[in-house]
Amino acid sequence: MKKLQLLLIVTFLVIISASAQAQKKYISYKVKQGETIKSIAKDNELKEKDLLKLNPDVDKKPQANTMIIIPNPHYDRNASFKDEVVVQKISPQEKIDKEKEELKKRIEELQQKQKELETGKSDENLRVTKVKRKPITKKMMVHVDSIHTVKLGDNLYALSKKYNVSLDSIMIKNKLESNELDLNQELIIPMMVEKTVVVQPKGGVKSIKKTYHKVVKGDTFYSLGNKFNISKEELIRMNPQLVEGLKVEQEIVVKEEVEMLPFMQKKQFEDDIDTSREINAYLMLPFKTSKLNDSILINDFNKRSVLNITTDFYLGAIEAVDSLRQQGANIRIKVLDTENSIKEIDSLNESNDLSRADIIIGPFYLKNAGYTANKNKNIPIVAPMFSKKYSNKLFGENLIKAAPKKDGLENTIIEYLLETFDDQNIILIGDSSEKNISKLNQIESKFKSIDSLASIVKLYPKEEKYIKRKDLFDSLDSKRENIIVITSPNKVIINSINNLSTLDLEDVDAKYEEGYEPKEDSKGNIIDTYDIQLFSLLKEMHYNFIDLNLLGKLSFTFPSAEYVNMEDEKVQKFYDNYRVKNFRTPTKYAISGFDITYDILSRLLTDGSIYGSFEEGVSRRIGTKFEYKQKPSKSFENYGNFILQYDPDLNVHILN
């Protein structure tokens, strides 16, 4: 009996050992008498140089019993392993039948996809599918600090012009509190240098370029492997039907190249201003001029007040009108003070001939703009401010909600993840509130609806108020890309991301490139590396407590209602003009005033019909994107927002 128990234990350990070996990409191999690196490479369908790269300290003719590293022939790159052993009784015949059924199903799926692929032609046995798009190049400005020693006659204004940088940036960089400079004082000048780079943001839509070969008489796995530098296992992975062997005239895939395409490319609205067209516009804002006196004015401009916000919006709007007039546009604009009062709005409706208006921008707040739209059903009314409270309230079909729909930001990221999903390991992290757990379940069901076998892990605190480090690490898969999605604004939940700084991060595709060398520790043991991309449904201030370099390594991706690219020449020109006229840097409300006014008027001047222009595509101005959609019997809403992503150098890319 004891012998039987011992035999069972040994058998169990052998099975576990074999399973563990199958999980490793590289295994140890003991050199036999008479073997050389060349012969071992040939036996394992490797190139000699690749085997030498794995064993740089080993001679080409190693001595017998020398231990070397070779690729594991049983390694499954798509396998996902868990820290558990499931014991299940299954007969050999059942196992064979199950594998045949799965293989048959997989072949049918691939054959169906094969029919749907667009393919090209070739005079030879090879043909290559068409590639949809070339890599994107982008001109980027890189920060370079220069030192300037103050000389007699130098001043900050002259230095800003000399080095083509803003006066503000010099003062901020050097922490100057005044414009006074000392002789021989060393100043840091934050200069910008332009360079062109190839941009391939992580997480775009994958396009696969496939090279095909028509099997001819005499072809073998060995000959094809030598010709196309590919292993038998890789050929079968790309062509599951090859488990039955090669057949003459059979068309097989011998190479796959993956290209990342930009996500959700959409039709762009193009400005084409008609200078013969005259526009009558009204700007309705709550200045409350009847209630102003000197003391109120001083107090209100020292805090974030309605007057302050309104004034900034107005200055931006006037800058937009001036900019269009400089391009030859014929615009008449009248500014009305609504006093932020329905009674005053009624009075303005009666005392002004609004029927002649082509467009009314305002009133400022959504409730009042909706009221005005109902009073003037034949005139397009533009609501500049977003309001969550009134966002779902029914207003007239002539109301245009120009502020980006902020409650749609979460959906933008979820749609992006679903669109780009390609068998990644999805890890959803949130808090333990009933509302957030419901959100986790909803997101999980959306992934399952497109792939019932999708790997989805949900993490949220159980007894503790934080995510356990072990739980986070256990959810990761070193064999494929991991997508971590933060669904909660909770500071403690967001801070759990700092645990990832202790891991070795590496693009999973690099592990399968020719010449790849696995990372090792000081003892020569291969280290697990992880490919992780971090997403957030919202960009919360708590991410300021995460190391920026870590966010860059994780390709941190998040939605935003606004984004200003200071490297853009048009943006720089707007900032310069605004500073010259107003002696201050534009606030986000000034940018909003410019963007909304410029976009609406430009669409009118280009198309003639504001509603018709919405069908002509998406537009992007200084810091706002405009993508208008209308549901039946409802007002127009702006669904324009940005999906932003950090790269390791902390440059920001727009994915959509």
Lowest mean pLDDT segment, chosen from 253-262, 450-459, 462-471, 628-637: 253-262
Do 362 and 324 share a domain, yes or no? yes
Q: How far is CA 633 from the centre of its chain?
A: 33
Helix (H, G, I), strand (E, B) or coil at 436: helix
Identify the residue with better confidence: 232 or 602: 602
Tally the domains of the chain: 4
pLDDT tens per residue, range 590-608: 999 999 999 999 999 888 7
The one-letter amino acid code at 429 reads: I
Contacts of 297 (CB under 8 A, 6+ apart): 307
Distance CA(543)–CA(533), nearest Å, equals 15
What's the mean pLDDT in 612-618? Answer: 83
Do 504 and 421 share a domain, yes or no? yes
Do 402 and 425 share a domain, yes or no? no
Lowest mean pLDDT segment, chosen from 11-25, 149-163, 267-281, 416-430: 11-25
Which of 262-266, 299-303, 316-320, 486-490 reaches the highest mean pLDDT? 316-320
What's the mean pLDDT in 338-344? Answer: 87
Residue 192 pLDDT greater than 80, yes or no: no
Identify the residue with better confidence: 144 or 127: 144
What are the backbone angles phi and psi of residue 225, rounded to the nearest 5°? -60, -40
Last residue of a domain, one of 199, 226, 248: 199
Copy the structure tokens of residue 619: 């537009």
Q: Which of 364, 361, 407 is nearest to 610 (CA)?
A: 361
Copy the structure tokens of residue 376: 């003037």
The one-letter amino acid code at 209 reads: K
Do 103 and 250 share a domain, yes or no? yes
Copy the structure tokens of residue 116: 């749907």
The pLDDT score that the predictor gives to residue 110 is: 53
Contacts of 220 (CB under 8 A, 6+ apart): 246
Do 363 and 463 share a domain, yes or no? no
Distance CA(198)–CA(284), nearest Å, equals 45
Are the beta carbons of 131 and 209 closer than 8 angstroms? yes
Distance CA(575)–CA(569), nearest Å, equals 10
Identify the residue with better confidence: 243 or 456: 456
What's the mean pLDDT in 560-567? Answer: 86
The pLDDT score that the predictor gives to residue 374 is: 87
Q: Which of 562, 405, 415, 424 is nearest to 480 (CA)?
A: 424
- Write the CATH number for 470: 3.40.50
Domain that holds residue 169: 136-199
Alpha carbon distance, N-terminus to C-terminus of the chain:
68
Distance CA(18)–CA(7), nearest Å, equals 16
Do 471 and 414 share a domain, yes or no? yes
Are the beta carbons of 634 and 573 closer than 8 angstroms? no
- For 310-368, give the DSSP string: HHHHHHHHHHHHHHHHHTT-EEEEEEEE-TT-HHHHHHHHHHS-GGG-SEEE--SSHHH
Distance CA(531)–CA(535), nearest Å, equals 13
Residue 127 pLDDT greater than 70, yes or no: no
Distance CA(71)–CA(77), nearest Å, equals 12
Q: How far is CA 413 from the centre of its chain?
A: 8
What are the backbone angles phi and psi of residue 509, rounded to the nearest 5°? -65, -25
Helix (H, G, I), strand (E, B) or coil at 632: coil
Do 356 and 492 share a domain, yes or no? no
Copy the structure tokens of residue 145: 């600090």
Which of 131-135, 237-241, 428-432, 511-515 reaches the highest mean pLDDT? 428-432
Residue 261 pLDDT greater than 80, yes or no: no
Question: Residue 6 — pLDDT band, cuts 50, 70, 90?
Answer: very low
pLDDT tens per residue, range 43-86: 887 777 777 766 665 677 888 777 677 777 765 544 433 333 33
Residue 172 pLDDT greater than 90, yes or no: no
Distance CA(615)–CA(267), nearest Å, equals 9
237 found inside a domain: yes
80 found inside a domain: no
Dihedral class, residue 626 (left if φ above 0, else alpha if ψ from -120 to 50, else beta): beta
The pLDDT score that the predictor gives to residue 326 is: 92
79 found inside a domain: no
Do 149 and 98 share a domain, yes or no? no
Question: Residue 422 — pLDDT band, cuts 50, 70, 90?
Answer: confident
Do 555 and 569 share a domain, yes or no? no
Contacts of 324 (CB under 8 A, 6+ apart): 273, 331, 598, 601, 602, 605
Do 219 and 250 share a domain, yes or no? yes
21 found inside a domain: no
421 found inside a domain: yes
Last residue of a domain, one of 560, 575, 599: 560
Using a cut of 0.85, tell me whether the model's pTM lies above it. no
The pLDDT score that the predictor gives to residue 595 is: 94
The pLDDT score that the predictor gives to residue 137 is: 46
Do 186 and 161 share a domain, yes or no? yes
Helix (H, G, I), strand (E, B) or coil at 424: coil
- Write the CATH number for 218: 3.10.350.10
Helix (H, G, I), strand (E, B) or coil at 629: strand
Last residue of a domain, one of 560, 582, 608: 560
Helix/strand/coil percentages in the chain, nearest 5: 40, 20, 40
Lowest mean pLDDT segment, chosen from 232-236, 383-387, 498-502: 232-236
Are the beta carbons of 240 and 207 closer than 8 angstroms? no
**Angle, CA of 72, 74 and 75, to the nearest 5°:** 65
The pLDDT score that the predictor gives to residue 210 is: 66
Residues in the chain: 656
Do 417 and 400 share a domain, yes or no? no
* Mean pLDDT score across all residues of the chain: 76
The pLDDT score that the predictor gives to residue 264 is: 53
The pLDDT score that the predictor gives to residue 40 is: 85
The pLDDT score that the predictor gives to residue 121 is: 40
Residue 176 pLDDT greater than 60, yes or no: yes
Distance CA(282)–CA(364), nearest Å, equals 12
Task: Say how many CA atoms lie within 13 Å of 260 toward its Cβ.
Answer: 16
Helix (H, G, I), strand (E, B) or coil at 382: strand
Lowest mean pLDDT segment, chosen from 150-154, 198-202, 409-413: 198-202
User: Which ranges constitute the DSSP H helices of 352-477?
Assistant: 366-375, 409-420, 434-450, 469-474
101 found inside a domain: yes
Distance CA(290)–CA(300), nearest Å, equals 14
Q: Which of 525, 638, 602 is nearest to 269 (CA)?
A: 602
Q: What percent of the chain has pLDDT over 90?
A: 8
42 found inside a domain: no
- Write the CATH number for 603: 3.40.50.2300
Q: Give the start-end residues of each E strand in 493-530.
A: none
Contacts of 619 (CB under 8 A, 6+ apart): 268, 269, 271, 599, 602, 603, 625, 626
41 found inside a domain: no
Copy the structure tokens of residue 433: 């509130």
